[in-house]
Amino acid sequence: MNREIFLIFILLFNLKTYHTMAMDIQDCIQFANENKLCYLATCEKDQPRVRALGFWFADETGFYFQTGDMKSLYHQLRTNPKTEVCFYKPEGMIGTMLRISGEVEFLTDLKLKERVLEERPFLKSFGLTINHPGLIIFRIPHGVAHFWTMEDNLKPKDMIFF
């Protein structure tokens, strides 16, 4: 019994240590790339809109997404480029969340369009090509991020500016 209590203590201590370490943008990039399902918020007039979205990738230049010009998401972000994205990793009782706020930037880089078509071949079945105007790529190049867990729920947020 004492051994079980000791092991639980070590496990909880390690989880707490992990979640209280100072995080940086590299931690955000890694977390986003490992947890591809995210929830992206936009605004339509005065009504918030949130949807699940398959995240594309993140690197030192930003957090990248792909959509189509027929989607309301695209039109909402064109009208108001401010957004917040939440990435979620289920673990333990609650899990870990990464929230990123910033303004999107739309990109027309043909190399990125070629890359998205290679990495997401299903897009071709929608008739999208490298030159199709409906293939939309956007990123959040700068913003604010923070991690959330139940353990640090009531603590001040450690904001990560990028």
The pLDDT tens digits along the chain (162 residues) read 454 443 344 344 444 434 445 799 999 999 999 999 999 999 999 999 999 999 999 999 999 999 999 999 999 999 999 999 999 999 988 999 999 999 999 999 999 999 999 999 999 999 999 999 999 999 999 999 999 999 999 999 999 999
Give the separation between CA 78 and CA 134, rounded to whole angstroms: 14
**For the chain, which residues make up each domain, given as ranges?**
23-161
Q: According to the model, what pLDDT value does residue 21 have?
A: 56
- Helices within the chain (DSSP H only): 2-20, 25-34, 72-79, 110-119
Nearest to 144 by CA among 103, 109, 115, 113: 103
Span 23-161: which CATH code? 2.30.110.10
Which amino acid belongs to residue 91? E
Q: Which phi and psi (to 5°) does residue 108 adopt?
A: -120, 10
